[in-house]
């Protein structure tokens, strides 16, 4: 990474921080990149794109559509598991990662995204 070449930057402390759909891009950019030491993701899905988009469509503005709990249940039970899925990439990152979620996010299926990450904890090197 170019920023790591700067004199005022410690190249041993470089990582990525991203929001929302960066959760699909940053793992791809970080995987296998020896300069990357960590990733921090905020409100970023770890589910396939179709799942996230179905959830977002069902919650709408979180007032006029389904409740967050109902949307999560419908998406879990019925959304197609198609589109890009970052979970296999995240599982193979090999660097520490921090995912930060809000419990009432109308755009990201938090429960399912967290369950995906929890399922990775049993495999190395995910912590």
The enclosing domain of 86 has a CATH number of 3.40.50.1820
Length of the chain in residues, anyone? 127
The closest alpha carbon to 37, from 17, 22, 7, 21, belongs to 17
The answer to whether residue 112 scores a pLDDT higher than 70 is: yes
> Considering the domain boundaries, does residue 2 fall inside one?
no
How much is the average pLDDT of 24-29? 93
* Entry pTM: 0.84
Cβ-count burial of 98 within 10 angstroms (0-12 exposed, 13-18 middle, 19+ buried)? exposed
> Considering the domain boundaries, does residue 103 fall inside one?
yes
How much is the average pLDDT of 49-72? 86
- Residues paired with residue 38 on neighbouring β-strands, in sequence order: 15
| Domains identified in the chain, total number | 1
The answer to whether residue 126 scores a pLDDT higher than 60 is: no
User: Is the separation of the CB atoms in 112 and 72 below 8 Å?
Assistant: yes
Note down the domain range covering 97: 12-120
pLDDT of the residue at 64:
67
How much is the average pLDDT of 96-123? 90
> Considering the domain boundaries, does residue 95 fall inside one?
yes
């Amino acid at each position: 990474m170019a920023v790591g070449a700067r004199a005022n930057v410690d190249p041993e402390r470089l990582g990525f921080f991203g929001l929302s759909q960066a959760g699909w891009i940053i793992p791809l950019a970080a995987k296998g990149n020896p300069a990357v030491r960590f990733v921090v993701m905020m409100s970023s899905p770890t589910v396939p794109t179709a799942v996230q988009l179905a959830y977002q469509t069902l919650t709408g503005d979180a007032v006029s559509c389904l409740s967050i709990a109902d949307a999560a249940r419908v998406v879990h039970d019925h959304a197609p598991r198609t589109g890009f899925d970052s979970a296999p990439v995240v599982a193979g990152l090999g660097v520490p990662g921090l995912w930060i979620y809000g419990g009432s996010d109308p755009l990201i299926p938090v429960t399912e995204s967290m369950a995906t990450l929890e399922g990775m904890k049993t495999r190395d090197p995910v912590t």
